[in-house]
Each structure stands twice: as C-alpha cells, then as structure tokens.
Chains A and B, each alone.
Chain A
C-alpha cells in the first residue's frame, strides 16, 4: 500500500546501485545486438555496389565502389573494421549519398523528434483520460462510446487518415499545408495521424489496467476507511494502474523514435523512418546498421527509464 511518493533513504540507495548495474548491462547487450544487426544486413541478397552505381554503370566503377567500401573483405573483418570505427565515433559513410552517416542522421533526426513530440503531446494524455473515464464508468454508455472511439482510432489506417486529411483540410478547405513541418500548421495533420494509434492503444491499456487495480484489496480498504472517492481513484487506483500504461507508453515512444515511415511518406517529412526504408532498399549497409544500432540503444534506454519510473510510482517494486 502506498502512502507517499517519496523514497525512503534505504530505497534511494538501492535505486542508484540498481541503476548503475542496469547501465553496465547495456554494453554486452549492445555488442550482441551489433553482431546480429551486422550479420542479418549482410545476408540480405542484393549487391549494394551495383545498386548504387546504377544498372548502366561500368563494371570497373562497380568494382571501385566495392573496394572503397571494403565489400570484398571477409565479413568478420568488415565487422571488426566497423566496430573499431564506431568506438571512435565514426559511423561510416552512406554509399548512396556519399556523405557520413552521422551527417545524415543529424539532418533527419530533428524532423522525427519534432514529429514524435507532436504525437506524444496530446495522444497519451487523451488516451489515458479516455481509458480511465471508461474504467470508472465501466459497463455504462460512456464506457462503450469511449471504447468505440478507441477501436476506430486503432482500425483507421494511418496512411488513409493522412491522405484523407490532406484532401479535406488542405485541398478542399485550404486550412493546412499538404506536407512538411515548416509552419505550426504543418504539424496538425501528421500529429493527428500518428497520435490516433497511440491514443487508441493507451486508451485500451489504461482502461484494463485501471479496472484491475480498482478490484484490488487496498482500494476496497481505502474506501472502507472512509477516504474520499476522488482520493481513492487518484492516489490509489490510478497511480498503480500507471505501471502497465508506462510500459506500453515506453514501447510506443521507442517505436515512434524509429520513425514512422508511413506518416513521413504521406506528409513528405524527411525523417528517420524514410531514411531507414530507403537505406534498406538501396542496400546502404552503413546507414541501415547505424540506424538499427541507434534504435536498439534508444529502446534499451527507454526501458531503463521505464524501470526507474516504476520505482517512482511504487517504491516497493523490486526489479531484480
């Protein structure tokens, strides 16, 4: 039973040690991930040098490209070269655009971050709100309506939502631009398209999580003790229901940071999602590797933060 959000002195000490342990664990984890990522990418059929040079290029040019990017070396030595450079901070060069991978990511990441921000500013809040309202009014009309909204948000394909949005608000009404994040108006449609799915997922999760916690003994006890209903709801039930929600939210944000290629394509946003799919299509190994490693790291870090948040929400949670 929680009575206070503050950590006890002993709990705080415990958290830091745990925190350090988790961070150290990420290093071997990332190493294993790097091996898998590298191997899988190189196993995909298709010759990158030929793809980059173009079908009409001379064989000598293709060969020269292979030499320059070390594609003729055995795969293990290519891996070692890559990892050594990575530790020095060099992510390699894009074969397609002939620029350093880090430059490409630096160019594109802000766009994706802006999009992620636009998505998570409203969607989780609205989603959790709908879910909680649903749970509190479990079985009544409000519950059904809220869940209907959630289902619609889940089922509407983002692609379709986006194009419909452009057609109505951009072409017909002329209120919003058809693409790009140059003005604040440009954020509205992409943010809505991306946020719908998140809102829907969180609505359902927070509802089921809230329903579960509402059934817990300590909630009944709190009520029996005469606590105000709003206090029961907020301080006890809702707080604890957040555990599940935070987990899901973490995963959703991790997914968003990997870029949403659909939203980026429909709204012509040069983000990370499109960079990834383009790099796969062109067998641009360095870019694909760099991005996948970055995404893996992001997920690992987000999981870490989520685990920390558990502690804040409920200090009694032991996560060994």
Chain B
C-alpha cells in the first residue's frame, strides 16, 4: 500500500507540475510570441516583397499528394489522382483551358459536320511518343481499337460512342458517331494517346512501369504507394518544362504533407485540407492556391420514403423546398470548409460548361416553417441519412441534422464505409432502403450532361445510375436528351438552362455547397497552370534557381 501511494503521489506530482508549469510557461511564452509576432509581421512585409526571388535548392520538382495513382496506363486508370499523374506523360487530342474552353492539344484544329455526326481533326506533325514511334492518325485509331478489344479498359467506355475512326491522310483523322453528341469533345479530352507499339508489346502490365506517351515527362521509376518519378522529355514537341525531374510522392497523412511543404521536402502539396490553410497562409515562402472546384455536395431525398402513417414527405415539393430554405449553406461553408467552399447557385458548380445561375435558396427559416405547415408537416418527421464514415463528411451530415432540427425533422446520422454505401445505394427502387444520402458528384470532363444525367435522369434509377432521389420529370428528361444530340451551342445552352431551372425549382436534393480546390506550393515554383477544379498542369513547370 505504501509503495502504491508513493507511486501515485509521484505520478500526480509530475502531472500537476507539468500542467502548472505549462500554464505559467504558457503565459510568458504568449507574451513573448506576441512581441515576436509584431516584429515578424513587419519583417514579413519586407520579406514578401522579396518572396518572389526565393530560389529552389535543386531542379527537381516534388509534389506530395494524398493518394497514389492506381495504374500508370491511362487506359486503365481514370480517377482524379491517377489522371494528374498520367497527364504528365500522356496527352489527348484536345484539352481544357482554365476557363473551361476546349482548346487544341495534339490536334491543332477540327471541324464538325453539319449533322454533328462526324468530326475531322488535323493533327500536329513532328510529334513522337516516348518510345520513338511517330504520332499520327493511325496511332489514334490503334488506341480506339484497343478499347474495342478489351472491355475492361476505361478507354472502351470513353470511345464507345465512336462508330468509326478513319485516317483520311497521315495527319488527318475523321471520327464518326451514330448520333450527334455534345459531350463528344469533353470525353475526347480524357482519351490519352498511347504509342501503338507499346499497346502491342507492353500491354497494361508493361505500361504499369513504363511510359509511352507524347507528354512532357517520361517515366523513370516507381514504388507502388510510395512515389512515381519522371524525367523531362527532351524531345517534347512544344515548349516544355524547365525542371529536370518531377516526382509524385504519396503522403496520405495531412499533417505530414503540410510538414513536408514547410520543410521544403515537397515543393507542392495537394490537397490542403481547409482546416490546415491557416497554418501555412502566413508563411512568406508558401503560396496557397484556392481554386473554384467542380465538386458539388448535396443530400438526395428519396421521393418514395414512406412514414409509418403512410405519408411520403419527400414526394411533396414544399417539404423539399422547406428543407432547402432551412439549410444555411453559407454557414455550412464556414463551419465545415472553413470558408473554402461556395453556396450552390445551380445544380452543379459554375466551372462546368453550360452552367446557368439560379436564385439561391438563402436561409429563410420562417418561409421554411410556413411551407412545412402548408404541407401538413409542422410537427416534422424522423428520417435517416447515410454518409461516408470520413471525418469531414460526417461533420457535414451532423450540420444537416442540426439545421433540419429547426423545422422539426429529426435526422438520424448513419455513417458507413463508402463501399458499403455504394452497394446499398445501387439497390433498385422497390428494394432500396435509402432515405437521405449525403453525397457529392463531379464531372471530370466538365460536362453538363455528365453532371446531371446519372443522378437526376428518369432512366438512371439505381442500379443503372445514382438517381437515389428517384427524380423523374418528363420535361427535364427530354431537355437532357435533346441537348445531348443538339449541335448548336446556343441551343444547347438554352436547353441546359431550362433543365437546371426545372431541377432547381423542384429541388430533389438539399443543395449544400461546392467546395474549392486548395493546393499550396513554395514560392519558387513557377510555370504551373490550373484546370477548372484545381487540377494542376505541369507542362511548363519551372523552379526558380
């Protein structure tokens, strides 16, 4: 007993000393740092003027990312992270500029036929693949044929709409579709061209550890889950990077990634979680890049959700609108995204093509309550919301819960693993258990169609799509279908504008927010360009020496 109490006394003494000492020490430390801070700000203003002359200790660009590319063959992988990596080695016929305009890349110009069913591309000459093969019309055709031969490849679904691809001459290519498609060029930006020789000789196994594209960097080495290193392509066909090497490092832990930027072990990091921006914003050696994003977040409201008494609250537009009026998206952006998000002003975000601004559902609790009363739900009802079990998503769902409580809707938050949710939300209409689903969507090729079809079209009820609101508006469906095959851009814009207005008014979802894309880099990094949504392009990357 004596020994025990002695031990306890030692522990308690140590703990209290630590706390007490901490407080006192803390106070003095605070005053000291405050003084330091004032001098620092003065110094900083001086430093900021000189920040642009900061130089890199080497000519090797290192970017730390949260996840690894799944596969280096651009016909196999297709998610955001993989694309950022493969885009450094492979290029497509056309691409997007920062304003979501389609601009030439490997194709220098193109024309569309009157009926919108065929496109003729004039390709750039003098371009070679990393393995020395020449880039030409035949090469593009070989890529299409690869998809036709192997349906497990992404290239197959990306080129499914092509009925035929013909080489009119060595550098002229005509692609025909069976009907006009206004997303053809959007989808074409995702078709990265691989050397036909590599397709035949290396296949997807070989291309996991080699590159055979036309891009500004050539594959050098890779450790799965660790890093992918590339060297500058000396035979690049146009103005390229000035850096010697480009390395994509995999750093899954946010804190470690930020640390790497601070120490200079990484020259660029992405993404930067909103909550960490403050930590590096005041550092004069670091530039934070806050770009408008393409991801939009929403909560789907299953119109078939039935209460115990048989009523279907989400089938009533008044209830759905009430929920939108009760939801304060501006506060949501502040609380969950530290201000690094914008309130929704249409179905999808403003960087997507054919975006048409709508009247936002600004918070109006009185209006919300009035609508609920009118619909007969003044006392509210219970409902369950499904959400991914990651911190920021769960935070968002809790926010939704809190907001809905103000109109007496009692939301039960049910976090689950994303794969499990993907399973459960693909259940068909008569078997599904989904009531509310906290989710997000984005179209990597910035399409209006791609941003709406899978999630709102009447033909896209699960499992064919992700329309878990089971929204089915005949006029909306027709507008989407007509717009898809229209060829005149003014007409397309008109159709999509009407479609957005309808879906916005009917609000089958609670519109939450569109988050920004935040990345950060050392001030000596130059020559980067950004695509809408924050995607980084390294073609002309340079490190100030």
Contact = CB atoms under 8 A, between A and B. Distances in A.
A111 B417 contact: no
A56 B252 CA distance: 24
A61 B259 CA distance: 40
Interface string A40-53: 00000111001100
A98 B208 contact: yes
Contact of A266 (B157, B224, B249, B253): B253
A179 B265 contact: yes
Most buried by A among B78, B450, B466: B78
Contacts of A179: 249, 251, 256, 260, 265
Nearest to B3: A139
25 contacts: A45-B424, A46-B422, A46-B423, A50-B426, A51-B419, A54-B78, A57-B78, A58-B160, A60-B151, A97-B224, A98-B70, A98-B73, A98-B208, A99-B71, A107-B223, A107-B225, A108-B224, A108-B225, A144-B10, A148-B7, A179-B251, A179-B260, A266-B256, A270-B225, A282-B419
A174 interface: yes
Nearest to A100: B205
B157 A148 contact: no
Interface stretch (A75-83, A164-172, A238-246, A303-311): A164-172
Contacts of B463: 59
Interface in B154-185: 154, 156-157, 160
B202 interface: no
Nearest to A272: B225
B256 A45 contact: no
Nearest to A266: B253
Contacts of B477: none
A133 interface: no
B152 A99 contact: no
A283 interface: yes
Contacts of B6: 144
Given A108-B225, A274-B225, A174 B263 contact: yes
B79 A54 contact: yes
Contacts of B252: 265, 268, 274
Contacts of B14: 148
Interface in A157-183: 163, 166-167, 170-171, 174, 177-180
A26 interface: no
A130 interface: no
A97 B71 contact: yes
A65 B422 contact: no
A171 B225 contact: no
A55 B293 CA distance: 19
A170 B154 contact: no
A281 B265 CA distance: 29
B262 A171 contact: yes
Contacts of A65: 152
Contacts of B204: 98
Interface string B233-261: 00000000000000001111101100110
B360 interface: no
Given A46-B417, A58-B160, A174-B263, A265 B253 contact: yes
Contact of A97 (B150, B153, B208, B450): B208
A275 interface: yes
A104 B224 contact: yes
A104 B68 CA distance: 13
Nearest to A281: B419
Interface in A240-280: 265-270, 274-275, 278
Contacts of A22: none
A163 B256 contact: yes
A70 B249 CA distance: 33
Given A104-B224, A174-B263, A47 B255 contact: no
List the 8 shortest-distance A-B pairs measured between CB atoms, nearest first: A270-B226, A270-B225, A46-B419, A64-B151, A178-B259, A58-B157, A64-B152, A268-B251
Contacts of A25: none
B420 interface: yes
B263 A177 contact: yes
A68 B70 CA distance: 18
A81 B185 CA distance: 43
B151 A61 contact: yes
B521 to A, nearest CB: 16
A57 B259 CA distance: 36
Contact of B71 (A46, A98, A265, A274): A98
Contact of A50 (B10, B227, B422): B422
A281 B64 CA distance: 22
B11 interface: yes
A55 B78 CA distance: 11
A59 B259 contact: no
Interface string B318-360: 0000000000000000000000000000000000000000000
B540 interface: no
Interface in B397-444: 417-420, 422-424, 426, 444
Contacts of B150: 64
Interface in B17-76: 64, 70-71, 73, 76
B225 A144 contact: no
A56 B454 contact: yes
Nearest to B259: A178
A107 B224 contact: yes
A104 B222 CA distance: 11
Contact of B256 (A58, A111, A166, A270): A166
A148 B11 contact: yes
B7 A144 contact: yes
Nearest to A111: B226
A182 B406 CA distance: 54
B284 to A, nearest CB: 16
B420 A166 contact: no
Contacts of B250: 268, 270
B464 interface: yes
A65 B150 CA distance: 10
A68 to B, nearest CB: 5
Interface string A142-155: 00100110000000
B425 to A, nearest CB: 10
Contacts of A51: 419, 422
